[in-house]
Amino acid sequence: MNRSIEYESLFNTVYRTYKTTFLRFAFTYVHDYTVAADLTADAFSDFWEKNLLCSEKEAASYILTSIKNKCLNHLKHQRVVDTASISLTEYQKWELHARINQLESCDPTDFFSNEIRQIINETLQSLPARTRQIFIMSRFDGKSYSEIATATNISVKGVEFHISKALKAFRISLKDYFPFLFLFFPFSH
């Protein structure tokens, strides 16, 4: 009988006889049918590529040893993955805890008030000098329109014009923060 025909016959006999048993053996350890089937198929494939002519029992022993080693390698790899996953999970828990603490200690009004103050200062600096002066006298110094008119030698209508011009600039720059504006500006005269 030709060696390749003899080897093919040996392989087919071992495959038919032991495939299910070897698959159950692998499944017993890896607890995943797909993985067990892959490892068993790999072991049979390795044996086929070796082209070893031996007895049926020796072939079965070789393949079973190969499956055992493949299962061990798979389980060791799984242990590394699980350890990394646990470490990652622990890190994720820590990070989540840190974010929760940060959010709990965060005061959104502080954030908005600082941001609004910055926008107000930038807008105030962008106003023409006369408009800025009149607006500061009205809103920060608490002077009435008539007091401002007297101090700046312009009419009350002129004061109203400059205040209106400043408020328009603030409305545009603070449009996203409009609900918070009442905290910073008393809009009465």
Domains of the chain are 3-104 (no CATH), 108-183 (1.10.10.10)
Does the pLDDT value for residue 183 go beyond 80?
no
| pLDDT for position 128 | 95
| pLDDT for position 37 | 97
Question: For residue 164, which phi and psi values (nearest 5 degrees)?
Answer: -60, -40
| pLDDT for position 14 | 94
Mean pLDDT of the chain: 85
Cα distances (Å, whole numbers) of residue 124 to 109, 120, 164 = 21, 6, 13
> How far is residue 143's CA from residue 103's CA, in Å, rounded to a whole number?
41
The reported pTM is: 0.49
**Beta strand ranges found along 12-169 (DSSP E):** none
| pLDDT for position 188 | 44
Higher pLDDT, 188 or 80: 80
Q: What is the band of 182 on the pLDDT scale with cuts at 50, 70, 90?
A: low
Contact criterion met (CB below 8 Å) for 139 and 189:
no
> How far is residue 106's CA from residue 23's CA, in Å, rounded to a whole number?
57
Q: What is the band of 177 on the pLDDT scale with cuts at 50, 70, 90?
A: low
What confidence tens digit (pLDDT) does each residue in 57-87 have?
A: 999 999 999 999 999 999 999 888 888 777 7
What confidence tens digit (pLDDT) does each residue in 99-111 have?
A: 777 766 766 556 5
